């Protein structure tokens, strides 16, 4: 700390072209070059805990069936009938051994095989291998890490662990925090945001907005005797587009402490859990898990919040200015009913779409999207860029530190430019600037 003396402000500049948030052409390029090529978070193994469980969800614009087949293997099928392309499974979730298409009643086992085709005899005249060619189409790659299941539409994507890099161990710590393991609770929160998906990522890595944007929540914390400071937040660029925001200044997980219903029993339980983690994980990992709050971003669609318990958030871009968000709660297996109920209330009242924090973030997210339209017709140099130039001088080892800094966001944007391959020529329509990042510090 101490006063920052900067002699050459120009050297600090890092600006993002607003075209990146609003252009349909950029959105299509992202679909082709990011969402079709990288690993995408699909869901958690415990969401399909028993054979024949299934969920349907859309990733990178492609409808999928995420299921555990009758033999207990996890599968990800394209949710598109091999006959004429109809959406095969029209339910959000359930349990079934067979998926039957409503259009012509072709029926498939959850292992992908054809189970029945009306009028099949006529088809069989078409020759050998016909039924095989009509199997459900699998997503080419599926791997999981600590129960988090990822898929890729690119058969040549590198192995998942290599791709997760430094993010992998943070996911491991999330899974290790209860000896019995973690499970996703039933129910999904789903909401649409009128904003570009990248604003959701930036907001999650932006500790700077906390006090002003969430001032109702901050006022509530202060009234309940809770110290609030922005100073103890750190944003880390983990590489590969992944990043981590750490909040250390709250003396533990935020909401389990501010929650007034969190009584003496829970405190005793928390302390016992802390001691158990110290023994099992060692003091350093126990400190990470128990004393800090985090938001982990795994490029490009997964956010893991351990603020108030553990929430999983998945981003699904639907247009340049539209994003669908799905959220789930991760909880220790075998937790008693009272603790579970308290956890759910805490989660819903804080990061739920009607909670104390998330509506503020959505408002910020949508207000940026509306605001950046202000410069849409302005082609003068420098007019169409949003600025990320705070705290530039100590961008070392990929770590920015303190909430005012933007190292994680910059890591995200550098990765975005590389993933999009902008250098090898993404044309932006008309006379719009072709540079996505501007400033002496963008590399």
CA quadruple 36, 37, 43, 46: dihedral, nearest 10: 140
Contact between residue 138 and residue 75 where contact means Cβ atoms under 8 Å apart:
yes
Q: Which is nearer to Fe ion, 210 or 413 (CB)?
A: 210
Q: Tokens for 218?
A: 């901050």
Instruction: Say how far apart CA 309 and CA 330 lie, in whole Å.
Output: 7
Q: How far is Cα 242 from Cα 259, in angstroms, rounded to an integer?
A: 30
Query: Within positions 283 to 322, which residues make up the interface with ligand FES, using CB under 6 A?
Result: none
Query: At its nearest, how many Å lie between ligand FES and the CB of residue 86?
Result: 4
Residue 60, Ramachandran bin (φ over 0: left; ψ between -120 and 50: alpha; else beta): left
Give the nearer residue to ligand FES in terms of CB position, either 85 or 159. 85
Closest to Fe ion by CB, 246 vs 437, is 246
Question: Do 210 and 229 contact (CB within 8 A), yes or no?
Answer: no
Maximal CA-CA distance, the chain: 82
Please, which of residues 340-379 interact with Fe ion by CB under 5 A? Answer: 361
State the minimum distance, in angstroms, from the CB of residue 81 to ligand FES.
3
Residue 361, binding choice from Fe ion, ligand FES, none, Cβ under 5 to 8 Å by partner class: Fe ion
123 binds, among Fe ion, ligand FES, none (CB under 5 to 8 A by kind): none
Site for ligand FES in 83-112 (CB under 6 A): 83-84, 86, 101, 103-104, 106
Footprint of Fe ion on residues 89-118 (CB under 5 A)? none
106 or 436, CB closer to ligand FES? 106
- Tell me how far apart the alpha carbons of residues 174 and 181 are, in angstroms, rounded to a whole number: 10
Distance of closest approach, residue 72 Cβ to Fe ion, in angstroms? 40
Closest CA to 206 of 254, 238, 243: 243
E runs forming strands in 218-278: 233-239, 242-247
- Name the residue nearer to ligand FES (CB basis): 104 or 222: 104
For residue 117, the minimal CB distance to ligand FES (Å) is 8
Residue 286 CA to residue 276 CA, distance in Å, equals: 9
End-to-end CA distance of the chain: 25
Q: 236, 398 in Cβ contact below 8 A?
A: yes
Residue 172 or 211 with smaller CB distance to Fe ion: 211
Residue 56 CB, nearest approach to ligand FES (Å):
15
Pick the stretch among 8-16, 41-49, 76-84, 326-334 that binds ligand FES (CB under 6 A).
Answer: 76-84
Residue closer to Fe ion by CB (options 88, 245) is 245
**Is the distance from CB of 33 to CB of 419 less than 8 angstroms?**
yes
Specify whether the CB–CB gap between 235 and 205 falls below 8 A: yes
83 binds, among ligand FES, Fe ion, none (CB under 5 to 8 A by kind): ligand FES
Residues present in the chain in total: 443
Q: Which is nearer to Fe ion, 114 or 221 (CB)?
A: 221
Helices (H) and strands (E) in the chain, counts: 15, 21
Residue nearest Fe ion, CB atom distance:
361
Q: In DSSP terms, which residues pair with 54 in a beta bridge?
A: 67, 94
Cβ nearer to ligand FES, comparing 101 with 244: 101
Cα dihedral sign for 108, 113, 116, 117? positive
Q: Which of 16, 19, 65, 81 binds ligand FES (CB under 6 A)?
A: 81
Question: Is residue 222 within the footprint of ligand FES (CB under 6 A)?
Answer: no
* CB of residue 357 to Fe ion, shortest distance in Å: 6
Q: Which residues, listed in sequence order, are joined to residue 246 by a DSSP beta bridge?
A: 234, 294
Footprint of ligand FES (CB under 6 A): 81, 83-84, 86, 101, 103-104, 106
Footprint of Fe ion (CB under 5 A): 361
């Amino acid at each position: 700390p101490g006063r920052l003396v900067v002699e050459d402000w120009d050297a600090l500049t890092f600006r993002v072209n607003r075209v990146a948030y609003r252009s349909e052409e950029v959105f299509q390029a992202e679909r082709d070059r990011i969402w079709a090529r990288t690993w995408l978070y699909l869901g958690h193994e415990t969401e399909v805990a028993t054979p024949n469980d299934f969920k349907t969800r859309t990733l990178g614009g492609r409808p999928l069936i995420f299921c555990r087949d009758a033999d207990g293997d996890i599968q990800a099928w394209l949710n598109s009938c091999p006959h004429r392309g109809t959406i095969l499974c029209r339910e959000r979730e359930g349990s079934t051994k067979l998926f039957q298409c409503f259009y012509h009643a072709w029926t498939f086992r959850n292992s992908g095989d054809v189970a029945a085709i009306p009028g099949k005899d006529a088809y069989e005249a078409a020759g050998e291998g016909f039924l095989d060619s009509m199997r459900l189409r699998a997503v080419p790659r599926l791997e999981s890490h600590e129960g988090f299941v990822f898929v890729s539409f690119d058969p040549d994507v590198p192995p998942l662990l290599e791709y997760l890099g430094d993010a992998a161990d943070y996911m491991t710590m999330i899974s290790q925090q209860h000896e019995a393991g973690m499970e996703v609770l039933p129910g999904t929160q789903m909401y649409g945001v009128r904003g570009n998906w990248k604003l959701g990522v930036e907001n999650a890595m932006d500790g700077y907005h906390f006090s002003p944007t969430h001032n109702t929540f901050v006022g509530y914390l202060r009234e309940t005797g809770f110290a609030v400071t922005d100073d103890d937040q750190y944003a880390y660029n983990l590489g590969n587009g992944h990043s981590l925001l750490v909040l250390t200044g709250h003396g533990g997980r935020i909401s389990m402490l501010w929650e007034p219903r969190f009584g003496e029993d829970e405190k005793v339980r928390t302390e016992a859990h802390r001691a158990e983690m110290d023994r099992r994980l060692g003091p350093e990992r126990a400190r990470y898990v128990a004393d800090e709050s985090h938001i982990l971003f795994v490029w490009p669609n997964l956010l893991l919040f351990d603020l108030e318990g553990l929430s999983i958030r998945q981003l699904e871009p639907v247009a340049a200015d539209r994003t669908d968000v799905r959220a789930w709660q991760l909880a220790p297996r075998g937790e008693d009913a009272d603790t579970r109920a308290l956890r759910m209330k805490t989660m819903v009242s804080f990061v739920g779409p009607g909670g104390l924090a998330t509506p503020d973030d959505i408002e910020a997210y949508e207000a940026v999207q509306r605001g950046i339209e202000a410069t849409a017709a302005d082609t003068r140099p420098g007019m169409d860029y949003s600025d990320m130039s705070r705290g530039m001088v100590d961008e070392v080892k990929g770590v920015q530190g303190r909430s005012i800094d933007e190292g994680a966001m910059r890591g995200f944007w550098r990765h975005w430019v590389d993933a999009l391959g902008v250098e090898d020529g993404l044309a932006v329509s008309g006379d719009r600037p072709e540079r996505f990042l501007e400033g002496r510090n963008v590399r």
